């Protein structure tokens, strides 16, 4: 394995791993704010729940895109 191939594998792993870590932190913060908002105004929980799941889906899309880019880096560059 050459040094260039090793760097390509490292780049792909970083794209996939850091995207997942960032999304996990984002969903954790989002869930905490959801619970905080529900505790402050319980009558808004149905509306907050809908918005929570929509935004959580958007946040979870980031690691999926990162996996796609990481796979492209790993396999399309001929590593």
Question: What pLDDT does 58 receive?
Answer: 93
CATH of the domain at 34: 1.20.20.10
Q: Which domain holds residue 27?
A: 16-75
Looking at the domain assignment, is residue 11 inside a domain?
Answer: no
Average pLDDT over residues 4-21: 89
Task: Identify the residue whose tokens are 């895109």.
Answer: 65
Among residues 9, 51, 59, 60, the one annotated as catalytic is 60
Question: What pLDDT does 52 receive?
Answer: 95
Q: How many structural domains are present in the chain?
A: 1
Helices 45-75 and 3-40: crossing angle in degrees, nearest 10, is 180
Q: CA dihedral defined by 32, 36, 37, 39, rounded to 10 degrees? A: 140
Looking at the domain assignment, is residue 36 inside a domain?
Answer: yes
Looking at the domain assignment, is residue 3 inside a domain?
Answer: no
Looking at the domain assignment, is residue 30 inside a domain?
Answer: yes
Q: Where are the beta strands (DSSP E) in the chain?
A: none
Looking at the domain assignment, is residue 33 inside a domain?
Answer: yes
Q: Which residues contact 38 (CB under 8 A, 6 or more apart)?
A: 44, 45, 48
Q: What digits encode the pLDDT tens for the residues 15-72?
A: 889 989 999 999 999 999 999 999 999 999 999 999 999 999 999 998 899 889 888 8
Active site residue 60: yes
Cα 37 to Cα 76: distance, rounded to the nearest angstrom: 45
């Amino acid at each position: 394995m050459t040094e260039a191939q090793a760097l390509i594998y490292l780049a792909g792993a970083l794209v996939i791993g850091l995207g997942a870590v960032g999304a996990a932190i984002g969903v954790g913060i989002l869930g905490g704010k959801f619970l905080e908002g529900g505790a402050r105004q319980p009558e808004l929980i149905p509306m907050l729940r809908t918005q929570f799941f929509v935004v959580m889906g958007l946040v979870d899309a980031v690691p999926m895109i990162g996996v796609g880019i990481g796979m492209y880096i790993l396999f399309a560059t001929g590593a």
